[in-house]
Chain A
């Protein structure tokens, strides 16, 4: 099995929620074998870079190996949150897909589910 370079979207799903000006995004590998590579690839620094243009100042990553999943808490990612944001999405509900689309990860190809559209696209 060889490594492939794919959007995070190929390997994991995610859900975003808000509290004030803080966003939390859970990242859940489709397959358990995706967890360890994501721990290496999806660092706090890389996630902060994705939200830097929104004004994010800090990212804290929590690992939940028994699920397995990880939870990112991103400070100041919501342009003030629903209290102050001029964005259509003051709650940041769509931001899980910004992360899934903007981050590229290098993972063993078995981390991509057998029925994933990415397998066909990659010729796997």
Chain B
């Protein structure tokens, strides 16, 4: 019986650039069908990619493609490890062409690369049709400019891409779990009715999609949840049998830990109703799942159940959402808290005086402000130390860059016009994209696989 091994090389755009190297080294010593996935596409990432593609039709794929793939492409090709990734972003075909360029530079011959398209609703629906789709989460679209609109494709199109013999598969928006489930459907031949196996495969994809969050990262807490050698944390590898048996482990010779605790935390990560985790392939029910340590850094996950998937697909629409202006300044040493709080009150007064009508949040970092509200409702219950190190932060969301900068500049001016010894101002003024989740009928979404042979 063929086992499938799936390693994860990145859990978000910006994940550790060389994390996949030990994963590939481990996979190359295993026998069976082996895959390496990279998940780099947050909801907003696609909006940025879509803007880049509009400026240059060759661009719009993930800029991390050039960061991640050259480190592993030759070894993956040599050992028959196939890569599945959503680095296609807004331009999977452009990404596929770029992979061929990288392969040529690395001296790799005969690489087959497939691109999956069809998630981009801007290519198939009119602006009015997109605005008419029912909203399930987020703000009303109103008059806001639509930057991107992408349906979440399922695993089937990835399985089809692998069936072409492609060694690298580039997708845009799919569910994150599909990056793992696609290879499993391809190798094990699971059908749409194999609900329990699809559920186990979806659980596998869900566990892998955030990289080291399964292997001790976003987990470690000294004295309570100690994780060895977190600086060299190994990224996860899953072993999945044809009957859905699922064991998760990590790259050999690395730091980190795979335990019941790390697995259960990730199993529930960003899950709402654990009995109804909706995907285009299966509705996953983890209510009866058991998690068992079967060896060092080896955990078996069993008992996922499946129900037929919904008739509609979720899609994310990204719209322009004005500007975020932020700035910070520090106060340290004796009586730092009072100086910081005076600075905060000055910024509030100044924002009123210059006519900023949008809500401005002004807070003192070091007083558990990250737990607090815009009005610092929680701060009143705390008694922070008088001396120490505190940092004042102001933030505003507003329609124009000018007003966002004005608020940031009220913090900057504290250098010479605020309390004693204000230091270390940083400003950050950025454009913002808001996301809206909508539903679209499956019949309006047509995934297409394109195989690009080496030129």
Contacts and interface: CB of A to CB of B under 8 A. Distances in A.
A86 B395 contact: yes
A98 B371 contact: yes
A53 B290 contact: no
A105 interface: no
A28 interface: yes
Interface stretch (B109-117, B266-274, B415-423): B266-274
B285 to A, nearest CB: 11
A15 B268 contact: yes
Given A67-B264, A84-B397, A94 B370 contact: yes
B288 A66 contact: yes
A38 to B, nearest CB: 14
A22 B373 CA distance: 15
B228 to A, nearest CB: 15
A86 B273 contact: no
Interface string B372-414: 1110011000000000000001011100000000000000000
A66 B303 contact: yes
B179 interface: no
A28 B264 contact: yes
A87 B377 CA distance: 13
Interface stretch (B93-101, B217-225, B334-342): B217-225
Contacts of B272: 19, 22, 24, 71, 73
B224 A62 contact: no
Interface string A63-86: 010110101010000010011101
A87 B303 CA distance: 39
Contacts of B434: 83-84
A87 B269 CA distance: 21
A19 to B, nearest CB: 6
A83 B320 CA distance: 10
Interface in B34-64: 44
Contacts of B435: 20, 83
A95 B371 contact: yes
B108 to A, nearest CB: 38
B15 interface: no
Nearest to B360: A86
A69 B263 CA distance: 12
Contacts of B372: 53, 87
Interface in A90-108: 94-95, 98
B137 interface: yes
Nearest to B265: A15
A86 B396 contact: yes
A67 B289 contact: yes
Contact of B374 (A28, A60, A64, A79): A79
Interface string B118-158: 00000000000000000001110000000000000000000
Contacts of A69: 264, 268
Contact of A17 (B270, B370, B397): B270
Nearest to A118: B224
B445 interface: no
Interface string B218-245: 1101011100000000000000000000
* Listed residue (B272, B273, B290, B435) with the most chain A CB atoms within 10 angstroms of its CB: B272
A18 interface: yes
A110 B219 CA distance: 23
B261 interface: yes
Contacts of A15: 218-219, 265-266, 268-269
B274 A66 contact: no
Nearest to B267: A67
B268 A66 contact: no
A17 to B, nearest CB: 4
Contact of B321 (A66, A83, A116): A83
B359 A64 contact: no
Nearest to A69: B264
Contacts of B378: 53
B274 A62 contact: yes
Interface string A35-62: 0000000000000000001110000101
Contact of A13 (B139, B224, B359, B437): B224
B265 A26 contact: yes
A13 B361 contact: no
A123 interface: no
B370 A13 contact: no
A95 B370 CA distance: 9
Contact of A24 (B270, B289, B359, B371): B270
Nearest to B223: A117
B268 A26 contact: yes
A64 B274 contact: yes
B359 to A, nearest CB: 7
Interface of A: 9, 13-15, 17-20, 22, 24, 26, 28, 30, 53-55, 60, 62, 64, 66-67, 69, 71, 73, 79, 82-84, 86-89, 94-95, 98, 116-117
The 6 A-B residue pairs whose C-beta atoms are closest, nearest first, are A17-B270, A26-B268, A86-B361, A53-B377, A15-B265, A83-B434
Interface of B: 44, 137-139, 218-219, 221, 223-225, 261, 264-275, 286-291, 303, 321, 359-361, 365, 369-374, 377-378, 393, 395-397, 434-435, 437
Given A62-B274, A64-B289, 4 more contacts: A13-B225, A82-B44, A84-B434, A87-B370
